[in-house]
């Protein structure tokens, strides 16, 4: 029986401490378990990416070894963001998808996000099945169709996402990626969108010497706001380490909570598609559903968790979804998964239609004061 800790299997991903809970040996076993899980469902094509954490390359190599031993046809897209991994599933027509990342966890952690079907992350029941496969050595072993490493996914991604938005103004944007992997991608994308980008903590450093890149943490957003003021930026964007959560700061350096900017994204959608359904988690303020109704949309509240929101959007055929953590999901004109880079572009699209600064646009949204 393989030695692997049950505690690393979370509700909808795998996470653990490097060197104790997660080792190359553990990752090879997980690769074999996930590959067997896919093969049992008739899935053979898998795309694999990783973040820039200190152990991610070593863990990726071990995971790929295990995965290929099950007969899967694997494309390694190397260092990417989670939304790029999901996008690559559609681009490469691959129902299997793996991202080696610990998301917003601090340095010293790593993990896996696993998909079955296009951008559909595994839930607890699926992860328990993989745990059972691994602990009971019920692996499929077969010579794989090969490992391909010759695809740079970012250029076609940029072309695709820019074709889906209409941005008519040039903004000066402060971009803070907190030394996470998003620093490799977001500045280039925003420049390609016609913006002037001022970079802050965009150099990769897996030790996260300043703070963990997490827009839900006050420290990151306060630092972003301070830099916006110093650089006289129109606004600031902050990204988590793997690019699926977005923070926004206005030109006054004030943090704009995700439920406030989700109001703007909902209005942007409802201008083009009246009657659209919009899903959000239970942590948002009452202002969001009220504004959705006022602008002709249908609000749907659901439980917190990006997998839950994504599943509910599919069930309801919703066009937009969001969480207070900064996960924003777009189905209208996109693929339905959470993508902080695309969310940035959609906000730019909305801002470029208006002649007002971000602070005024936010002030025009309803607001509830917590007692």
**Residue 316, H or E segment:** helix 306-316
The strand ranges marked E within the chain are 14-17, 45-50, 73-79, 96-100, 109-116, 146-148, 172-176, 196-200, 235-239, 246-249, 255-256, 277-281, 298-302, 320-322, 328-330
CA distance 30 to 250: 43
What token pair was written down for 208? 């996260």
What token pair was written down for 300? 């749907």
CA distance 90 to 117: 10
Listed residue (268, 255, 346) closest to 278, CA to CA: 268
Identified catalytic residue from 52, 56, 60, 103: 103
Query: Is there a catalytic annotation at residue 307?
Result: no
The strand ranges marked E within 103-145 are 109-116
Sign of the C-alpha dihedral, residues 208, 214, 218, 222? positive
CA distance 283 to 105: 21
What does the buried/exposed string (b/e) look like for 296-319 if buried means 16 or more CB atoms within 10 Å of the residue's CB?
ebbbbebeebbbbbbbbbeeeebb
| Neighbour tally for 163: CB within 10 Å | 9
CA distance 12 to 227: 35
CA distance 259 to 98: 29
Listed residue (240, 279, 277, 246) closest to 261, CA to CA: 246
Q: Is 253 exposed, middle or buried (0-12, 13-18, 19+ CB in 10 A)?
A: buried
In the chain the first and final C-alpha atoms are separated, in Å, by 54
Residues forming the active site: 103
């Amino acid at each position: 029986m393989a030695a692997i800790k049950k505690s690393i299997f979370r509700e909808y991903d795998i996470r653990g401490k490097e060197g104790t809970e997660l080792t190359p040996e553990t990752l090879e076993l997980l690769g074999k378990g996930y590959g067997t899980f896919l093969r049992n469902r008739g899935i053979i094509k898998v795309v694999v990416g990783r973040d820039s954490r200190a152990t991610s390359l070593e863990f990726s190599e071990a995971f790929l070894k295990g995965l290929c031993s099950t007969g899967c046809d694997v494309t390694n897209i190397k260092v990417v963001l989670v939304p790029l991994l999901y996008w690559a599933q559609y681009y490469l027509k691959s129902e299997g998808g793996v991202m080696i990342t610990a998301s917003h966890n601090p340095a010293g952690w790593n993990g896996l996000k696993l998909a079955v079907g296009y951008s559909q992350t595994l839930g607890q029941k699926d992860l328990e099945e993989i745990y059972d496969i691994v602990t009971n050595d019920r692996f499929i072993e077969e010579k794989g169709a090969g490992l391909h490493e010759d695809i740079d996914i970012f250029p076609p991604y940029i072309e695709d996402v820019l074709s889906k938005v209409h941005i008519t103004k040039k903004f000066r944007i402060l971009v803070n990626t907190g030394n996470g992997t998003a620093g490799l991608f977001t500045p280039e994308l925003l420049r390609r969108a016609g913006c002037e980008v001022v970079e802050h903590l965009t150099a990769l450093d897996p030790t996260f010497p300043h703070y963990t890149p997490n827009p839900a943490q006050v420290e990151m957003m306060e630092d972003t706001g301070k830099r916006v003021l110093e650089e006289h930026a129109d606004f600031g964007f902050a990204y988590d380490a793997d690019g699926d959560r977005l923070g926004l700061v206005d030109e006054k350096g004030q943090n704009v909570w995700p439920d406030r900017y989700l109001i703007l994204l909902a209005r942007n959608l409802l201008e083009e598609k009246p009657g659209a359904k919009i899903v959000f988690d239970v942590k948002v303020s009452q202002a969001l559903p009220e504004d959705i109704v006022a602008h002709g949309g249908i609000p749907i509240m659901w439980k917190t968790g990006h997998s839950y929101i994504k599943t509910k959007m599919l069930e309801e055929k919703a066009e937009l979804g969001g969480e207070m953590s900064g996960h924003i999901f777009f189905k209208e004109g996109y693929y339905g998964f959470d993508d902080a880079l695309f969310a940035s572009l959609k906000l730019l699209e909305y801002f470029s239609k208006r002649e007002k600064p971000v602070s005024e646009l936010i002030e025009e949204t309803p607001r509830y004061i917590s007692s």
